[in-house]
Amino acid sequence: MNRESKGMLFGLLGVTSFALTLPAIRYIIDYFDPIFIGLGRAIVAAIVALFILVVTRQSIPTREQFYKLFIVSLGVVFGFPVLTSIAMQTVPSSHGGVVLGLLPIATAIVGFLISNDRPSIGFWIVAIIGGSIVVIFSYINGANSIHIGDLALLGSIVCAAIGYAVGGELSKSMGGWQVICWALVISLPFLIFPVLSRLPEEGLKIPINIWLGFLYLALVSQLFGFFLWNKGLAIGGVVRVSQTQLVQPFITIIASTIFLNEPLELLTIVFAVLVLVVVAVSRSMNIKFN
């Protein structure tokens, strides 16, 4: 298996773990404040990450690496988790899964800006078409309006794309799991106050299955899923491997139907397929390396 194929495989495994994030948030959102979900999960992940870094005796990152880690943390530790938690208050997770179908192209665009990957003009044309499809879906499925949830999802896409792309490039020099661990650890001091101020008042009365959903978000969505994802981006290239995210809407929709009993509407399926086709076409476009 060549490097690109290995990168695609690791990327696909990472995407599979991320695809259950929205259903998990939707599952527990009635019990927790969205800020607590978004940042509280990061505290749990950061504590585990700190333990891993200490046990494995990792070297302290350089100043330049710290700068990039800060960008990664803003995107995937703060921005994406908080904005998706806010979005899940007003839109179904299956709807969010389709909107996040724009994430592969967004990540590829950021990857182009910060790396040596140079997609063809055809790639950019397809990217514009894909973005238009997602906006149209959000408008139609939102009763002919753009909900605050849709705006939050679009913001989360920007945050995730930047965090993914910078993290993927940084993983080439640091290692995939080291990047997310350090990003979480340097975020820890900024997480404590907002999380403590939003602790559930009767946490002991919250059902264990709800806490298990929160634990999934902390350990899989926020930590171990990134071990696989960052490794894939580092091996196969940010622009190319980012396209494995095309399967994410389908996994999210299926999980939402199975675990949340959300209706599987024809409109959602149609637009999910359109997003899949557009991103698949972008996957076939040439990418040059300078």
pLDDT tens digits, residue range 96-126? 877 787 888 888 888 888 877 677 788 778 7
Q: 168, 79 in Cβ contact below 8 A?
A: no
Distances (CA, A) of 66 to 44, 52, 131, 137, 230: 21, 18, 32, 38, 17
Structure tokens at 41: 């999960």
Among 25, 80, 8, 66, which Cα is nearest to 215's? 25
Among 257, 253, 255, which Cα is nearest to 270's? 253
272 vs 24: CA distance, rounded Å: 20
The packing angle between helices 103-114 and 266-284, to 10°, is: 30
Task: Convert the pLDDT of each residue in 216-250 to its tens digit.
Answer: 999 999 999 999 999 998 888 887 788 788 777 77
SS3 at position 20: coil
103 vs 157: CA distance, rounded Å: 6
Q: How far apart, in Å, do the first and last CA atoms of the chain sit?
A: 24
Task: Convert the pLDDT of each residue in 3-23 to its tens digit.
Answer: 777 888 899 899 889 888 888
Other CB atoms closer than 10 Å to residue 168's CB: what's the count? 32
pTM of the model: 0.84
- Which helix (H) or strand (E) segment holds residue 85: the answer is helix 80-87
Other CB atoms closer than 10 Å to residue 268's CB: what's the count? 22
What rounded mean pLDDT belongs to the chain?
85
SS3 at position 248: helix
The packing angle between helices 3-19 and 225-236, to 10°, is: 150
